[in-house]
Amino acid sequence: MRYDVAVIGGGPSGAVAARELAKAGVSTILVERNLDNVKPCGGAIPLGLIEEFNIPAELIEKKLSRMRARSPKGRIIEMRMPNGYVGMVRREKFDSYLRSEAEKAGAVIVEALVSSIKPSGSGFVINTLNNKVAPFEAHRIIGADGANSKTADELHFPPNELKVIAMQQRFKYTPAIQKFSDIVEIWFDGEVSPDFYGWIFPKADHLAIGTGTEDNRHNIKALQKRFIEKIGITDKPYLDEAAKIPMKPRKSFTAEKSILIGDAAGLVTPANGEGIFFAMRSGKLGALAMIEHLKKNAPLKSYEDEFRKLYAPIFFGLEVLQAVYYRNDRLRESFVAICADNDVQQITFDSYLYKKMVPAPWSTQMKIFSKNIYHMIKGC
């Protein structure tokens, strides 16, 4: 069998790409290693994504406009979004819906683990483990198979240089944790994560609680255990999840006949670790570039250029923020203190909801800069 495009990986990036390709009349196969896979993800999606991709209301388990930031010393700053909300989704339902939309558009969805990708003529031959799916040909490849992308390895893309290992546990609501049911809580605490953060995300019938740390630097299970202890939860989780998450875009994620999208391309923002929005946007941008490439012989590099043009400032800004404030608990105290400023909150939420760098008046910039310096020196 021969297809125009093979999409390897069926998470949000791969499903969106497959749908866009199929809608345009491009013969597309999506290969997902495990259609029942559940990624350890907080499942928070911004309003801009919900609107752009017409996410059905039934997939949004909660609409949250409040969040709390907690410092190492227990200082709590409560923040409210005046002009929007964060939608909470359950990844197994969300990913399944996106794949079903791709299938409705005409993409072929198969469950198999790709074992090799070999150049052949003007395209590739794809083999699966134990020949679960018969070998097939594809003119072009889109790699959407996560941080440890085999597609990227097979096609010799530059490596993902920095990865975080994330662990999340799900707890059924009990009277003791019901207080977390209507607010997002983020812990900036070295005991919970020495170089990232811990999160408490409420869903319809459970709390998703997790933490992350740079791969191979710390014991993620010990950090998660300490987090649960500090929250005061004594019940057992009903589900444990763990995965690696890239924290920096690859040096290149396009080639002559193939592209990478989502986590496979390293498109997860530093500091906050958000990946769903950038997965779906990269899936859409990558698919549109692929369509132009197939129909008009346009270079695939246009996809990477467009993505970097749109989002490089956000990645750079968050990388600087993480480098400055996540180094130790004194600086984390400073960071949480700055979050109390109304201008900081307004700029942060406006930027988050639609993923655009929102310029502030010069007077506001100077005020925020001065507060940054003050709190970094004071450390509280």
Quote the CA–CA distance of 328 and 325 in Å, as a whole number: 7
Q: Which amino acid is at 135?
A: P
Question: Of 266, 262, 289, 265, nearest to 277 (Cα)?
Answer: 262
**DSSP-assigned letter for residue 204:** S
pLDDT at site 65 = 87
- Show Cβ contacts of residue 36 under 8 Å, excluding neighbours closer than 6 positions: 92
Domain locations in the chain?
2-35+91-158+251-311, 44-89+162-246, 317-378
* CATH T-level assignment (fold) for domain 2-35+91-158+251-311: FAD/NAD(P)-binding domain (3.50.50)
pLDDT at site 358 = 46
Give me the residue label for tokens 């410092």. 71
Q: At what angle do helices 329-338 and 301-325 cross, to 10 degrees?
A: 110
For the stretch 5-59, pLDDT in tens is 999 999 999 999 999 999 999 999 999 999 987 776 778 888 888 999 999 999 9
Q: Which helix (H) or strand (E) holds 371?
A: helix 362-378
Average pLDDT, consecutive stretches of 10 residues, N- to C-terminus, the chain (380 residues): 96 97 98 84 84 94 91 92 84 94 98 94 92 93 95 95 88 92 93 94 93 86 96 93 89 97 94 89 98 97 96 87 89 88 71 54 42 46
Question: Of 122, 163, 165, nearest to 294 (Cα)?
Answer: 122
Six token digits for residue 298: 């346009």
This prediction's pTM: 0.90
Quote the CA–CA distance of 309 and 236 in Å, as a whole number: 45
Tell me the β-bridge partners of 124. 119, 138
Quote the CA–CA distance of 269 and 267 in Å, as a whole number: 6
Quote the CA–CA distance of 21 and 25 in Å, as a whole number: 7
For the stretch 88-102, pLDDT in tens is 999 889 999 999 999
* CATH T-level assignment (fold) for domain 44-89+162-246: D-Amino Acid Oxidase; Chain A, domain 2 (3.30.9)
Whether residue 283 contacts residue 12, with contact meaning beta carbons closer than 8 Å, is answered with: yes
Q: What is the DSSP string of 306-348?
A: HHHHHHHHHHHHHHHHHHHHSSSHHHHHHHHHHTT-HHHHHHH
